Amino acid sequence: MPHIARLYVCIGFLVAAVGLLPGCGALSWLSSEKDPNPPSAIDKNLPQQVQLDILWKTRIGKGTDERHLRLVPAIANGRLYMADPGGKIAALSPRDGRVLWERKTDFQFSGGPDVAGDLLVAGSTNGVLLALSSGNGSQRWRTQLGGEILSIPRIINDLVVVHTIDDTVYGVDLGDGSERWRFSYPAPVLTLHGSSTPVAAGEGIIVGFSGGKLVYLEPEQGAPVWEATVTPPRGRSELDRIADIDADPFVVGDIVYVATYNGDLAAVDITSGTILWRRELSAHAGLTADQNALYVTDSDDNLWSADPRDGAGRWRQEALAHRRLTAPALVSSVLAVGDFDGYVHLISPRDGRLLGYERIAKDRIGHRPVVANSMLYVYANDGTLAALRVGAAARPAPGASLSGAGAATKVSAPNTEIIPAQNSAQGPVPDAIDIR
């Protein structure tokens, strides 16, 4: 099983048992032994086949301090918006990083922002959903939800849809912040410390839950249209039975692709909830797709390419194993991932070959790089925000050979289960684990 960096505990009786302070705390894994899964070293002799240029860098606050938050840049209205755990939120020029406006609030932001038109929304660690003017940062409204917000509050039509840490989804009125509806699932005893972000699909909303459930909600009342169990919990221990959907579902046409931790990569028909296929692959960072393939980072930080028609593997890149990779992003016909040490790596979508890298910080890049106008925008845990551009292919040095350099492993065995339609739908390491 992939390594787990922290264990978050919220059980009152442990206070007496181990002398912890009341409430929630974090226990690091302590061991005098070497890490059984040390991060792969970067091959500094690897030819830089594609250039990655840093156009600008700046700092937004003091960063996340290694907390598992969901703060990512948002691009809208010709501006870049960013929130900081210390309560700062700002609009910058995507071209040069110049600050256009900045506001200091009393909230510890943990999820967002998202922007649509003249409204910006972000969520906090104490469950506050805050709406600001995207033009000048003035407050429009705020509302108190029932749990920590560790996903991106998503603006979908006239709603803000929020998935909180307790596996409750809220539909909040975009105009005034009033709650229209909520939908929730009882969470398993052990879950990953995070939540997937709701995704618009067709006329409804797709949400992935702890326990491997994928649900399609109608937006008027938040009622489930269908539910599908992507990965049923399996194994003897509660740890083995973690099957969370923390990776954001990815929609292509009438199909949603989803991955679970300790479980499967699957394709689900949006109209019916039928699971079209699934293959054994544990993932929690996320996935992306183009017209030809799916690309996913697994829980051992290997990058995979799979056939979207049946999930059959095409290639697997293992050279970055255990570097705590982000989900991949597609930009200028290459894949980009961030890692635990502030590097952005470029990979060929065609064959998985490593193409180049650039370091933007000395701290972890926690989430998928954001792509806009053929640019990459990357946020690191130390507060570094950087804009990068993929350049032209570099010319190899005289006499240099690229044969085998950074090559991926070809995957021939499908390892895929095609699911009978009648058995799939059911009616209308992560950084941390939660113990409930």
At residue 331 the predicted structure's pLDDT band, cuts being 50, 70 and 90, is: very high
Lowest mean pLDDT: which of 4-18, 275-289, 298-312, 315-329?
4-18
Q: Buried b vs exposed e over 187-207: b needs ≥16 C-beta within 10 Å?
A: bbebbbbbbbbbbbbeebbbb
- Name the more confident of 396 and 229: 229
Which residues face 347 on adjacent strands? 335, 354
Q: Which two tokens stand for residue 206?
A: 């797709």
Q: Is pLDDT of 436 > 50?
A: no
92-124 residue pLDDT tens: 999 999 999 999 999 999 999 999 999 999 999
Query: Residue 40: is its pLDDT beyond 80?
Result: yes
pLDDT tens digits, residue range 167-222? 999 999 999 999 999 999 877 665 667 789 999 999 999 999 988 899 999 999 99
Question: How much is the pLDDT for 428?
Answer: 42
Domain range summary for the chain, segments of one domain joined by +? 6-435
Name the band, by pLDDT with cuts 50, 70 and 90, for residue 327. Answer: very high
Rounded CA-CA distance 340/41 in Å is 12
Torsion of CA 123, 294, 201, 255, to 10 degrees: -150
The answer, yes or no, to whether residue 415 has pLDDT greater than 70, is: no
Residue 22 — very low, low, confident or very high, per pLDDT cuts 50/70/90? very low
In this prediction, residues 407-429 reach a mean pLDDT of 50
In Å, how far are 46, 320, 339, 385 from 41, measured between CA atoms? Answer: 12, 8, 12, 24
Percent of the chain topping pLDDT 70: 80
Q: Is 246 left (phi over 0), alpha (psi -120 to 50) or beta?
A: alpha
CATH homologous superfamily of 6-435 equals YVTN repeat-like/Quinoprotein amine dehydrogenase (2.130.10.10)
Do 173 and 126 form a contact (C-beta atoms < 8 A)?
no
Question: Quick check: 27 pLDDT over 90?
Answer: no
- Indicate if the pLDDT at residue 29 is higher than 80: no
Q: Any idea what the Cα angle at residue 313 is, between residues 190 and 291, rounded to 5°? A: 100
Query: Is 58 within 8 Å of 73 (Cβ atoms)?
Result: no
pLDDT at 240 over 70: no
What is the residue-averaged pLDDT of the chain?
85
73 pLDDT above the threshold of 90: yes
Taking only the tens place, the pLDDT of each residue in 254-292 is 999 999 888 889 999 999 999 999 999 988 889 999 889
Global pTM? 0.85
pLDDT of the residue at 391: 86
Residues 6+ apart with CB under 8 A from 119: 131, 132, 133, 134, 140, 155, 174
* CA 239/CA 255 separation, integer angstroms: 30
Predicted local distance difference test score (pLDDT) of residue 315: 97
Provide mean pLDDT across the span 286-305. Answer: 94
Closest CA to 319 of 305, 333, 302: 302
Is pLDDT above 50 for 421?
no
